[in-house]
Chains A and B, each alone.
Chain A
Amino acid sequence: KAGVTQTPRYLIKTRGQQVTLSCSPISGHRSVSWYQQTPGQGLQFLFEYFSETQRNKGNFPGRFSGRQFSNSRSEMNVSTLELGDSALYLCASRLLGLAAYNEQFFGPGTRLTVL
């Protein structure tokens, strides 16, 4: 079974631009979460989508948005990029069935550099 895939792997943008990142979850997984990882703040939760609906949201400004499609693929958009948005953006998928816990599987990430 293929793992979580993210595209692109690397991206360089300039301040003020906007960017869209893509994530394809493991087949059968309906939940997709997005995280921002920086050396200073660690892994910070952005939002989670399940069945095309946002279920949870972290404490990020409205410039960060996402969506999920009917095939569970998800995109994340950041508008009006700032230097501080430079980070590794990670996508993770999980099954969210009736199990007592729901293991999360991560993609390789998209390294975004804002100049």
Chain B
Amino acid sequence: TQLLEQSPQFLSIQEGENLTVYCNSSSVFSSLQWYRQEPGEGPVLLVTVVTGGEVKKLKRLTFQFGDARKDSSLHITAAQPGDTGLYLCAGEAHLWGANSKLTFGKGITLSVRP
């Protein structure tokens, strides 16, 4: 069974602060996705990283895939209240999608105080 551990589980910060959260596994994934979910809604895809060491930026969010493709980090610069939500990472195990499935971490609950 492939497991994804996300840390920290909960994070409460002040608007304007920077933060980094993590998604770790002992398994290798062919791709890793990050989602943000707001209460009562479905997760919304933020980014997919595929290549080991890859860095992708989405405005103030920076995503990095570990060199060994076992872990990922999400860095938020100058957090805003609109960044509040549950951040989920999900790893896909098979390269070409044949019979692949996503394994989700339990998520990181982020609260950004005004």
Which of A's residues lie within 8 Å of B, judged by CB? 4, 33, 35, 41-43, 45, 48, 55-56, 88, 90, 92, 96-109, 111
Contacts and interface: CB of A to CB of B under 8 A. Distances in A.
A96 B97 contact: yes
Given A43-B104, A45-B102, A101 B42 contact: no
Interface stretch (B55-63, B74-82, B88-96): B88-96
B92 A102 contact: yes
Interface in B24-39: 30-31, 33, 35
Contacts, number: 68
Contacts of A100: 30-31, 50, 95-96
Given A43-B88, A90-B43, A99 B101 contact: no
A66 to B, nearest CB: 14
B96 A98 contact: yes
Prevailing SS type, chain B contact patch: loop
Interface string B62-79: 000000000000000000
A97 B97 contact: yes
B99 interface: yes
A101 B106 contact: no
A56 B35 CA distance: 22
B100 A102 contact: yes
Nearest to B90: A104
A48 B45 CA distance: 18
Nearest to B100: A102
Given A42-B107, A109-B40, A111-B40, A101 B45 contact: no
B65 to A, nearest CB: 12
A24 to B, nearest CB: 13
A87 B97 CA distance: 28
B92 to A, nearest CB: 6
B44 interface: yes
> Which of A41, A56, A90, A102 counts the most B-chain CB atoms under 10 A from its CB?
A102
